[in-house]
Structure 1
Amino acid sequence: MPSDLSPIDKAKFVAAKQATTYVQSGMKVGLGTGSTAAWLVRCLGEMVRDEGLRIKGVPTSTRTAELARGAGIEVISLDEAKWLDLTIDGADEYDGDLNLIKGGGGALLQEKIVATASDQMVVIADVSKQVETLGAFPLPVEVIPFGWQTTKTLIEESLIGMDVLGNTTSLRMNGETPFVTDEGNHILDLHLHRIGNARQLSLVINQIPGVVENGLFIDICDSVVIGYGDGRVEVRDITNGTTDEKTFDFLDEDNLFSDIAD
Protein backbone atom coordinates (compact mmCIF):
# COMPACT_ATOMS: atom_id res chain seq x y z
CA MET A 1 0.00 0.00 0.00
CA PRO A 2 1.56 3.30 -0.99
CA SER A 3 2.33 5.78 1.76
CA ASP A 4 1.34 8.82 -0.31
CA LEU A 5 -2.41 8.26 -0.10
CA SER A 6 -4.49 11.11 1.25
CA PRO A 7 -5.80 10.67 4.81
CA ILE A 8 -9.33 10.07 3.52
CA ASP A 9 -8.17 7.35 1.13
CA LYS A 10 -6.12 5.73 3.89
CA ALA A 11 -9.21 5.73 6.09
CA LYS A 12 -11.33 4.11 3.38
CA PHE A 13 -8.68 1.53 2.61
CA VAL A 14 -8.10 0.39 6.21
CA ALA A 15 -11.85 0.09 6.79
CA ALA A 16 -12.21 -2.05 3.67
CA LYS A 17 -9.14 -4.12 4.47
CA GLN A 18 -10.37 -4.87 7.99
CA ALA A 19 -13.81 -5.80 6.68
CA THR A 20 -12.30 -8.58 4.56
CA THR A 21 -11.71 -10.50 7.81
CA TYR A 22 -15.46 -11.18 7.88
CA VAL A 23 -15.28 -12.99 4.53
CA GLN A 24 -14.56 -16.72 4.31
CA SER A 25 -14.32 -19.10 1.36
CA GLY A 26 -17.67 -20.47 0.27
CA MET A 27 -19.60 -17.37 1.27
CA LYS A 28 -22.14 -15.50 -0.80
CA VAL A 29 -21.33 -11.83 -0.21
CA GLY A 30 -23.28 -8.69 -1.00
CA LEU A 31 -20.96 -6.08 -2.49
CA GLY A 32 -21.83 -2.46 -1.84
CA THR A 33 -21.62 0.62 -4.04
CA GLY A 34 -19.49 3.72 -3.59
CA SER A 35 -15.87 4.76 -3.18
CA THR A 36 -15.29 2.89 0.09
CA ALA A 37 -16.99 -0.25 -1.22
CA ALA A 38 -14.74 -0.06 -4.29
CA TRP A 39 -11.71 -0.49 -2.02
CA LEU A 40 -13.37 -3.58 -0.57
CA VAL A 41 -13.97 -5.13 -3.99
CA ARG A 42 -10.33 -4.64 -4.95
CA CYS A 43 -9.14 -6.10 -1.63
CA LEU A 44 -11.35 -9.16 -2.11
CA GLY A 45 -10.18 -9.50 -5.71
CA GLU A 46 -6.59 -9.60 -4.49
CA MET A 47 -7.52 -12.34 -2.00
CA VAL A 48 -9.23 -14.33 -4.76
CA ARG A 49 -6.14 -14.10 -6.93
CA ASP A 50 -3.37 -14.46 -4.35
CA GLU A 51 -4.92 -16.48 -1.53
CA GLY A 52 -7.40 -18.73 -3.30
CA LEU A 53 -10.46 -17.13 -1.70
CA ARG A 54 -13.63 -18.57 -3.21
CA ILE A 55 -16.71 -16.38 -2.94
CA LYS A 56 -19.76 -15.46 -4.96
CA GLY A 57 -20.51 -11.76 -5.02
CA VAL A 58 -23.92 -10.16 -5.37
CA PRO A 59 -23.36 -6.55 -6.47
CA THR A 60 -25.70 -3.70 -5.55
CA SER A 61 -25.22 -1.78 -8.80
CA THR A 62 -23.98 -2.19 -12.35
CA ARG A 63 -20.88 -0.20 -11.38
CA THR A 64 -19.99 -2.65 -8.63
CA ALA A 65 -20.73 -5.63 -10.88
CA GLU A 66 -18.25 -4.36 -13.48
CA LEU A 67 -15.61 -3.69 -10.84
CA ALA A 68 -16.08 -7.12 -9.24
CA ARG A 69 -15.79 -8.98 -12.53
CA GLY A 70 -12.67 -6.99 -13.36
CA ALA A 71 -11.19 -7.97 -10.00
CA GLY A 72 -11.80 -11.68 -10.66
CA ILE A 73 -14.75 -12.16 -8.31
CA GLU A 74 -17.52 -14.50 -9.45
CA VAL A 75 -20.69 -12.42 -9.79
CA ILE A 76 -24.19 -13.87 -9.40
CA SER A 77 -27.63 -12.33 -9.04
CA LEU A 78 -29.59 -12.20 -5.80
CA ASP A 79 -32.16 -14.52 -7.37
CA GLU A 80 -29.38 -17.06 -7.94
CA ALA A 81 -28.00 -16.60 -4.44
CA LYS A 82 -31.42 -16.53 -2.73
CA TRP A 83 -29.81 -15.63 0.60
CA LEU A 84 -26.43 -14.16 1.54
CA ASP A 85 -24.01 -14.84 4.35
CA LEU A 86 -22.84 -11.26 4.53
CA THR A 87 -23.17 -7.82 2.93
CA ILE A 88 -20.44 -5.21 3.21
CA ASP A 89 -21.32 -1.69 2.12
CA GLY A 90 -20.56 1.94 2.81
CA ALA A 91 -22.78 4.62 4.31
CA ASP A 92 -23.31 8.34 3.94
CA GLU A 93 -24.09 8.68 7.65
CA TYR A 94 -24.35 6.40 10.67
CA ASP A 95 -25.40 7.13 14.24
CA GLY A 96 -24.61 5.52 17.58
CA ASP A 97 -27.28 2.85 17.08
CA LEU A 98 -25.83 2.02 13.64
CA ASN A 99 -28.83 3.41 11.81
CA LEU A 100 -27.78 4.70 8.40
CA ILE A 101 -28.46 7.08 5.58
CA LYS A 102 -27.49 5.52 2.26
CA GLY A 103 -28.11 6.34 -1.37
CA GLY A 104 -25.63 9.09 -2.15
CA GLY A 105 -24.44 6.94 -5.03
CA GLY A 106 -27.97 6.30 -6.26
CA ALA A 107 -28.13 2.57 -5.47
CA LEU A 108 -30.20 2.60 -2.27
CA LEU A 109 -32.94 0.27 -3.54
CA GLN A 110 -30.67 -2.59 -4.51
CA GLU A 111 -28.47 -1.90 -1.48
CA LYS A 112 -31.39 -2.26 0.92
CA ILE A 113 -32.74 -5.38 -0.77
CA VAL A 114 -29.33 -7.07 -0.68
CA ALA A 115 -28.60 -6.00 2.90
CA THR A 116 -31.90 -7.33 4.23
CA ALA A 117 -31.35 -10.63 2.40
CA SER A 118 -28.17 -11.25 4.41
CA ASP A 119 -27.37 -12.89 7.70
CA GLN A 120 -25.15 -9.93 8.58
CA MET A 121 -24.52 -6.41 7.32
CA VAL A 122 -21.18 -4.72 7.93
CA VAL A 123 -20.73 -1.04 7.11
CA ILE A 124 -17.32 0.35 6.17
CA ALA A 125 -16.78 4.09 6.50
CA ASP A 126 -14.33 6.79 7.41
CA VAL A 127 -14.89 8.59 10.70
CA SER A 128 -16.40 11.66 8.98
CA LYS A 129 -19.61 9.67 8.37
CA GLN A 130 -20.33 9.37 12.10
CA VAL A 131 -23.09 11.67 13.43
CA GLU A 132 -25.02 12.05 16.65
CA THR A 133 -28.31 12.45 14.79
CA LEU A 134 -29.03 11.51 11.18
CA GLY A 135 -30.03 14.15 8.66
CA ALA A 136 -27.10 16.38 7.82
CA PHE A 137 -26.64 14.33 4.65
CA PRO A 138 -29.66 14.71 2.31
CA LEU A 139 -31.99 11.72 2.57
CA PRO A 140 -32.41 10.03 -0.84
CA VAL A 141 -35.85 8.75 -1.79
CA GLU A 142 -36.27 6.64 -4.93
CA VAL A 143 -39.49 7.42 -6.82
CA ILE A 144 -40.99 6.22 -10.07
CA PRO A 145 -40.78 8.73 -12.95
CA PHE A 146 -44.55 8.84 -13.51
CA GLY A 147 -46.00 11.72 -11.52
CA TRP A 148 -42.76 12.38 -9.66
CA GLN A 149 -43.69 16.02 -9.08
CA THR A 150 -46.91 14.93 -7.36
CA THR A 151 -44.91 12.48 -5.27
CA LYS A 152 -42.51 15.29 -4.39
CA THR A 153 -45.42 17.47 -3.22
CA LEU A 154 -46.86 14.65 -1.12
CA ILE A 155 -43.48 14.04 0.51
CA GLU A 156 -43.07 17.74 1.34
CA GLU A 157 -46.57 17.82 2.86
CA SER A 158 -45.80 14.76 4.98
CA LEU A 159 -42.69 16.42 6.36
CA ILE A 160 -44.75 19.17 7.99
CA GLY A 161 -45.69 16.86 10.87
CA MET A 162 -42.31 15.18 11.19
CA ASP A 163 -39.50 15.85 13.67
CA VAL A 164 -37.13 17.37 11.11
CA LEU A 165 -35.45 20.77 10.77
CA GLY A 166 -35.83 21.25 7.02
CA ASN A 167 -38.32 20.32 4.31
CA THR A 168 -36.62 21.24 1.04
CA THR A 169 -36.78 18.52 -1.61
CA SER A 170 -34.86 18.45 -4.90
CA LEU A 171 -34.78 16.14 -7.89
CA ARG A 172 -31.32 14.64 -8.33
CA MET A 173 -29.84 15.57 -11.68
CA ASN A 174 -27.22 14.07 -13.95
CA GLY A 175 -26.07 17.13 -15.85
CA GLU A 176 -29.10 18.57 -17.62
CA THR A 177 -31.32 15.50 -17.18
CA PRO A 178 -32.75 13.70 -14.15
CA PHE A 179 -30.57 11.03 -12.58
CA VAL A 180 -31.84 7.53 -13.41
CA THR A 181 -31.22 4.57 -11.11
CA ASP A 182 -30.40 1.04 -12.26
CA GLU A 183 -34.13 0.29 -11.87
CA GLY A 184 -35.11 3.21 -14.11
CA ASN A 185 -36.35 5.47 -11.33
CA HIS A 186 -35.57 9.01 -10.12
CA ILE A 187 -34.21 10.15 -6.77
CA LEU A 188 -35.53 12.98 -4.64
CA ASP A 189 -33.05 14.32 -2.09
CA LEU A 190 -34.65 15.53 1.14
CA HIS A 191 -32.66 18.30 2.85
CA LEU A 192 -33.82 17.72 6.42
CA HIS A 193 -30.70 18.76 8.40
CA ARG A 194 -31.86 16.72 11.40
CA ILE A 195 -34.09 13.64 11.67
CA GLY A 196 -35.52 13.29 15.15
CA ASN A 197 -37.41 10.03 14.59
CA ALA A 198 -35.90 8.09 11.71
CA ARG A 199 -38.11 5.03 12.14
CA GLN A 200 -41.31 7.05 11.96
CA LEU A 201 -40.09 9.08 9.00
CA SER A 202 -39.15 5.95 7.06
CA LEU A 203 -42.58 4.42 7.58
CA VAL A 204 -44.42 7.59 6.58
CA ILE A 205 -42.38 8.19 3.43
CA ASN A 206 -42.78 4.62 2.20
CA GLN A 207 -46.57 4.89 2.39
CA ILE A 208 -46.65 7.72 -0.17
CA PRO A 209 -47.78 6.63 -3.67
CA GLY A 210 -44.90 6.80 -6.11
CA VAL A 211 -42.23 6.16 -3.51
CA VAL A 212 -40.24 2.99 -4.13
CA GLU A 213 -37.87 3.12 -1.15
CA ASN A 214 -36.00 5.57 1.06
CA GLY A 215 -32.36 5.68 2.17
CA LEU A 216 -32.94 5.17 5.90
CA PHE A 217 -31.49 1.81 6.95
CA ILE A 218 -32.98 1.10 10.38
CA ASP A 219 -31.98 -1.99 12.40
CA ILE A 220 -30.18 -3.48 9.39
CA CYS A 221 -26.51 -2.86 10.16
CA ASP A 222 -24.81 -5.22 12.64
CA SER A 223 -21.28 -3.77 12.73
CA VAL A 224 -19.43 -0.72 11.49
CA VAL A 225 -15.75 -0.66 10.60
CA ILE A 226 -14.43 2.88 10.93
CA GLY A 227 -11.23 3.94 9.20
CA TYR A 228 -8.97 6.81 10.27
CA GLY A 229 -6.45 8.75 8.23
CA ASP A 230 -3.54 7.62 10.41
CA GLY A 231 -4.16 3.93 9.67
CA ARG A 232 -6.22 3.15 12.74
CA VAL A 233 -9.40 1.15 12.36
CA GLU A 234 -12.19 0.71 14.89
CA VAL A 235 -14.82 -2.04 14.81
CA ARG A 236 -18.12 -1.51 16.62
CA ASP A 237 -20.43 -4.50 17.00
CA ILE A 238 -23.97 -3.48 17.93
CA THR A 239 -25.01 -7.06 18.78
CA ASN A 240 -22.19 -7.80 21.22
CA GLY A 241 -21.75 -4.23 22.37
CA THR A 242 -18.00 -4.39 21.75
CA THR A 243 -15.47 -1.97 20.27
CA ASP A 244 -12.05 -3.11 19.02
CA GLU A 245 -9.18 -1.13 17.50
CA LYS A 246 -6.07 -1.90 15.48
CA THR A 247 -3.56 0.00 13.34
CA PHE A 248 -2.34 -0.76 9.82
CA ASP A 249 1.19 0.12 8.76
CA PHE A 250 1.53 1.70 5.32
CA LEU A 251 4.44 0.61 3.18
CA ASP A 252 5.68 1.81 -0.21
CA GLU A 253 4.46 -1.03 -2.39
CA ASP A 254 2.97 -1.44 -5.82
CA ASN A 255 -0.65 -2.52 -5.55
CA LEU A 256 -3.98 -2.75 -7.30
CA PHE A 257 -5.56 0.15 -5.51
CA SER A 258 -3.76 3.20 -6.84
CA ASP A 259 -6.39 3.83 -9.52
CA ILE A 260 -9.33 4.16 -7.15
CA ALA A 261 -10.55 7.72 -6.72
CA ASP A 262 -13.46 9.28 -4.87
Structure 2
Amino acid sequence: MDFIVNPKHRHYGGESKNFWVIDNGGFSDANLYSRIVESEVLITDLDESIAQSPARIIAQTHSLRKFPGTLEYWCWVAKYLFKYLGGDSNIESSAWKEYVSKFLRTPEERRSAGEYFTTDIVSKILYPGVRDFYCVLPESMKKSCVTRNIEEVALQFTRPLGINSVVAEAFYKSTIVELMIKAAPWRKRYLLIGDSSEDEEALDVLRSIKKKGFIDFVLSIWVCKSPDDANKEFDISIGRNYSGLVEIIKNRRSIESRL
Protein backbone atom coordinates (compact mmCIF):
# COMPACT_ATOMS: atom_id res chain seq x y z
CA MET A 1 0.00 0.00 0.00
CA ASP A 2 1.24 3.46 -0.91
CA PHE A 3 -0.11 6.91 -0.15
CA ILE A 4 -1.23 8.88 -3.20
CA VAL A 5 -2.14 11.71 -0.84
CA ASN A 6 -0.14 11.68 2.38
CA PRO A 7 -2.01 12.35 5.63
CA LYS A 8 -2.87 16.03 5.93
CA HIS A 9 -4.93 18.17 8.26
CA ARG A 10 -7.53 20.73 7.31
CA HIS A 11 -9.91 22.72 9.49
CA TYR A 12 -13.66 22.24 9.13
CA GLY A 13 -15.96 24.26 11.35
CA GLY A 14 -13.24 24.74 13.93
CA GLU A 15 -12.26 21.07 13.87
CA SER A 16 -9.04 19.67 12.43
CA LYS A 17 -9.78 16.70 10.17
CA ASN A 18 -7.22 14.29 8.80
CA PHE A 19 -7.45 13.13 5.19
CA TRP A 20 -5.42 10.77 3.02
CA VAL A 21 -5.67 8.48 -0.02
CA ILE A 22 -4.06 5.02 -0.15
CA ASP A 23 -3.44 3.13 -3.39
CA ASN A 24 -3.93 -0.63 -3.34
CA GLY A 25 -4.18 -1.17 -7.09
CA GLY A 26 -1.14 0.43 -8.70
CA PHE A 27 -2.73 3.81 -9.42
CA SER A 28 -0.95 7.12 -9.83
CA ASP A 29 -2.90 10.28 -9.13
CA ALA A 30 -3.27 10.79 -12.90
CA ASN A 31 -4.62 7.27 -13.42
CA LEU A 32 -6.98 7.56 -10.48
CA TYR A 33 -8.29 10.88 -11.78
CA SER A 34 -8.93 9.37 -15.21
CA ARG A 35 -10.79 6.38 -13.78
CA ILE A 36 -12.99 8.55 -11.59
CA VAL A 37 -14.03 11.03 -14.27
CA GLU A 38 -14.44 8.32 -16.93
CA SER A 39 -16.81 6.29 -14.76
CA GLU A 40 -20.34 6.19 -16.15
CA VAL A 41 -22.00 4.87 -12.99
CA LEU A 42 -21.24 5.62 -9.34
CA ILE A 43 -22.71 3.27 -6.74
CA THR A 44 -22.28 4.40 -3.15
CA ASP A 45 -23.36 3.21 0.26
CA LEU A 46 -24.79 5.73 2.74
CA ASP A 47 -24.06 4.83 6.37
CA GLU A 48 -20.38 5.41 7.22
CA SER A 49 -19.54 5.80 3.55
CA ILE A 50 -20.66 9.38 2.96
CA ALA A 51 -21.83 10.26 6.48
CA GLN A 52 -21.91 9.14 10.08
CA SER A 53 -24.40 6.28 10.32
CA PRO A 54 -27.97 7.64 10.10
CA ALA A 55 -29.26 4.17 11.00
CA ARG A 56 -27.35 4.20 14.27
CA ILE A 57 -28.55 7.73 15.00
CA ILE A 58 -32.17 6.70 14.33
CA ALA A 59 -31.93 3.81 16.79
CA GLN A 60 -30.18 5.93 19.42
CA THR A 61 -32.72 8.77 19.16
CA HIS A 62 -35.73 6.43 19.07
CA SER A 63 -37.23 7.77 22.30
CA LEU A 64 -36.45 11.39 21.34
CA ARG A 65 -38.81 11.23 18.38
CA LYS A 66 -42.57 10.67 18.66
CA PHE A 67 -42.23 7.08 19.77
CA PRO A 68 -41.26 6.48 23.40
CA GLY A 69 -39.06 3.54 24.33
CA THR A 70 -41.43 0.60 24.66
CA LEU A 71 -40.63 -2.80 26.14
CA GLU A 72 -40.30 -4.10 22.58
CA TYR A 73 -37.68 -1.45 21.83
CA TRP A 74 -35.63 -2.18 24.95
CA CYS A 75 -35.80 -5.92 24.23
CA TRP A 76 -34.37 -5.16 20.78
CA VAL A 77 -31.56 -3.09 22.37
CA ALA A 78 -30.72 -5.84 24.88
CA LYS A 79 -30.76 -8.56 22.23
CA TYR A 80 -28.19 -6.92 19.98
CA LEU A 81 -26.11 -5.45 22.78
CA PHE A 82 -25.74 -8.97 24.19
CA LYS A 83 -24.68 -10.28 20.78
CA TYR A 84 -22.18 -7.44 20.34
CA LEU A 85 -20.66 -7.97 23.78
CA GLY A 86 -20.49 -11.66 22.97
CA GLY A 87 -18.06 -10.89 20.16
CA ASP A 88 -20.43 -10.81 17.19
CA SER A 89 -19.14 -7.78 15.30
CA ASN A 90 -21.24 -8.43 12.16
CA ILE A 91 -24.67 -7.75 13.60
CA GLU A 92 -25.43 -4.27 12.28
CA SER A 93 -27.25 -5.44 9.15
CA SER A 94 -29.52 -7.89 10.98
CA ALA A 95 -30.08 -5.44 13.85
CA TRP A 96 -31.12 -2.68 11.46
CA LYS A 97 -33.34 -5.01 9.40
CA GLU A 98 -35.20 -6.01 12.57
CA TYR A 99 -35.44 -2.37 13.71
CA VAL A 100 -37.07 -1.42 10.41
CA SER A 101 -39.56 -4.28 10.61
CA LYS A 102 -40.50 -3.48 14.23
CA PHE A 103 -40.31 0.31 14.49
CA LEU A 104 -40.44 1.79 10.97
CA ARG A 105 -43.52 -0.01 9.73
CA THR A 106 -45.94 2.86 9.22
CA PRO A 107 -45.72 5.98 7.02
CA GLU A 108 -45.78 8.12 10.18
CA GLU A 109 -42.82 6.29 11.73
CA ARG A 110 -40.82 6.52 8.50
CA ARG A 111 -41.67 10.18 8.00
CA SER A 112 -40.62 10.94 11.58
CA ALA A 113 -37.26 9.24 11.02
CA GLY A 114 -36.66 11.18 7.81
CA GLU A 115 -37.70 14.52 9.28
CA TYR A 116 -35.24 14.09 12.13
CA PHE A 117 -32.44 14.69 9.60
CA THR A 118 -32.82 18.40 9.05
CA THR A 119 -30.54 20.34 6.72
CA ASP A 120 -28.37 21.31 9.69
CA ILE A 121 -28.02 17.75 10.98
CA VAL A 122 -27.22 16.42 7.51
CA SER A 123 -24.53 19.09 7.09
CA LYS A 124 -23.00 18.18 10.44
CA ILE A 125 -22.79 14.43 9.85
CA LEU A 126 -21.80 14.37 6.17
CA TYR A 127 -18.11 13.54 6.00
CA PRO A 128 -15.80 16.47 5.16
CA GLY A 129 -15.20 16.88 1.45
CA VAL A 130 -18.23 14.82 0.38
CA ARG A 131 -20.15 17.80 -1.02
CA ASP A 132 -17.07 19.01 -2.87
CA PHE A 133 -16.45 15.53 -4.28
CA TYR A 134 -19.93 15.25 -5.76
CA CYS A 135 -19.65 18.80 -7.12
CA VAL A 136 -16.53 17.94 -9.15
CA LEU A 137 -17.90 14.72 -10.66
CA PRO A 138 -19.09 14.83 -14.29
CA GLU A 139 -22.78 15.74 -14.61
CA SER A 140 -23.21 12.90 -17.10
CA MET A 141 -22.28 10.29 -14.48
CA LYS A 142 -25.27 8.33 -13.13
CA LYS A 143 -25.04 8.42 -9.35
CA SER A 144 -26.89 5.83 -7.27
CA CYS A 145 -27.09 5.20 -3.54
CA VAL A 146 -27.70 1.56 -2.61
CA THR A 147 -28.37 1.42 1.11
CA ARG A 148 -29.94 -0.65 3.87
CA ASN A 149 -31.50 2.54 5.19
CA ILE A 150 -35.07 3.59 4.44
CA GLU A 151 -35.81 5.88 1.51
CA GLU A 152 -37.19 8.68 3.69
CA VAL A 153 -33.80 9.00 5.39
CA ALA A 154 -31.59 8.33 2.37
CA LEU A 155 -33.21 11.12 0.34
CA GLN A 156 -32.26 13.68 2.99
CA PHE A 157 -28.60 12.94 2.15
CA THR A 158 -28.72 12.15 -1.57
CA ARG A 159 -30.72 15.15 -2.77
CA PRO A 160 -28.16 17.77 -1.63
CA LEU A 161 -25.41 15.75 -3.34
CA GLY A 162 -27.18 15.43 -6.68
CA ILE A 163 -27.39 11.64 -6.46
CA ASN A 164 -29.86 10.53 -9.13
CA SER A 165 -31.42 7.44 -7.59
CA VAL A 166 -31.81 5.57 -4.31
CA VAL A 167 -32.28 1.85 -3.80
CA ALA A 168 -33.39 1.65 -0.18
CA GLU A 169 -33.60 -1.30 2.23
CA ALA A 170 -31.09 -3.11 0.02
CA PHE A 171 -30.09 -5.98 2.28
CA TYR A 172 -28.73 -7.98 -0.67
CA LYS A 173 -26.56 -5.36 -2.33
CA SER A 174 -24.70 -7.73 -4.65
CA THR A 175 -28.01 -8.81 -6.21
CA ILE A 176 -29.08 -5.17 -6.66
CA VAL A 177 -25.80 -4.32 -8.37
CA GLU A 178 -26.16 -7.24 -10.75
CA LEU A 179 -29.70 -6.15 -11.65
CA MET A 180 -28.51 -2.58 -12.22
CA ILE A 181 -25.94 -3.78 -14.75
CA LYS A 182 -28.48 -5.96 -16.55
CA ALA A 183 -30.91 -3.04 -16.72
CA ALA A 184 -28.34 -0.78 -18.41
CA PRO A 185 -25.95 -3.00 -20.40
CA TRP A 186 -24.68 0.00 -22.38
CA ARG A 187 -23.02 1.42 -19.26
CA LYS A 188 -19.57 -0.12 -19.02
CA ARG A 189 -17.53 1.82 -16.45
CA TYR A 190 -18.32 1.62 -12.74
CA LEU A 191 -17.19 3.33 -9.54
CA LEU A 192 -18.10 1.63 -6.25
CA ILE A 193 -17.76 3.35 -2.86
CA GLY A 194 -18.43 1.51 0.40
CA ASP A 195 -17.29 0.40 3.82
CA SER A 196 -18.94 -2.94 4.66
CA SER A 197 -18.93 -6.65 3.91
CA GLU A 198 -21.98 -6.08 1.69
CA ASP A 199 -19.88 -3.68 -0.40
CA GLU A 200 -17.14 -6.31 -0.63
CA GLU A 201 -19.72 -8.76 -1.97
CA ALA A 202 -20.93 -6.17 -4.48
CA LEU A 203 -17.34 -5.66 -5.64
CA ASP A 204 -16.95 -9.41 -6.15
CA VAL A 205 -20.00 -9.38 -8.41
CA LEU A 206 -18.72 -6.39 -10.39
CA ARG A 207 -15.33 -7.98 -10.91
CA SER A 208 -16.92 -11.27 -11.95
CA ILE A 209 -19.05 -9.46 -14.53
CA LYS A 210 -15.98 -7.58 -15.75
CA LYS A 211 -14.12 -10.88 -16.26
CA LYS A 212 -16.98 -12.03 -18.46
CA GLY A 213 -16.53 -8.93 -20.60
CA PHE A 214 -19.87 -7.26 -19.85
CA ILE A 215 -18.29 -4.15 -18.30
CA ASP A 216 -14.97 -2.44 -19.04
CA PHE A 217 -13.76 -1.54 -15.56
CA VAL A 218 -14.73 -1.11 -11.94
CA LEU A 219 -12.89 1.32 -9.67
CA SER A 220 -13.44 0.56 -5.99
CA ILE A 221 -12.99 2.98 -3.07
CA TRP A 222 -13.05 1.82 0.55
CA VAL A 223 -13.98 4.34 3.27
CA CYS A 224 -12.46 3.64 6.67
CA LYS A 225 -11.51 5.19 9.99
CA SER A 226 -7.71 5.09 9.68
CA PRO A 227 -4.94 3.92 7.31
CA ASP A 228 -4.65 0.79 9.45
CA ASP A 229 -8.15 -0.17 8.28
CA ALA A 230 -7.35 0.09 4.56
CA ASN A 231 -8.86 -2.74 2.52
CA LYS A 232 -6.39 -4.39 0.14
CA GLU A 233 -9.25 -5.85 -1.91
CA PHE A 234 -10.33 -2.35 -2.94
CA ASP A 235 -8.30 -0.27 -5.40
CA ILE A 236 -8.29 2.80 -3.18
CA SER A 237 -8.81 3.41 0.54
CA ILE A 238 -9.68 6.81 1.98
CA GLY A 239 -10.48 8.10 5.44
CA ARG A 240 -13.83 9.51 6.44
CA ASN A 241 -12.87 12.64 4.57
CA TYR A 242 -13.09 13.02 0.78
CA SER A 243 -10.76 16.02 0.56
CA GLY A 244 -7.89 13.91 -0.79
CA LEU A 245 -9.98 12.78 -3.77
CA VAL A 246 -11.14 16.34 -4.36
CA GLU A 247 -7.53 17.54 -4.27
CA ILE A 248 -6.49 14.96 -6.88
CA ILE A 249 -9.33 15.87 -9.24
CA LYS A 250 -8.81 19.62 -8.95
CA ASN A 251 -5.02 19.35 -9.35
CA ARG A 252 -5.30 17.19 -12.47
CA ARG A 253 -7.87 19.52 -14.01
CA SER A 254 -5.61 22.47 -13.29
CA ILE A 255 -2.72 20.69 -15.05
CA GLU A 256 -4.92 19.78 -18.04
CA SER A 257 -6.14 23.36 -18.37
CA ARG A 258 -2.54 24.55 -18.81
CA LEU A 259 -1.66 22.02 -21.52
The normalised TM-score by structure 2 is: 0.30
Structure with bigger helix share is 2
Structure showing the higher strand proportion among its residues? 1
Larger RCO (alpha carbons 8 Å, 6+ apart): 2
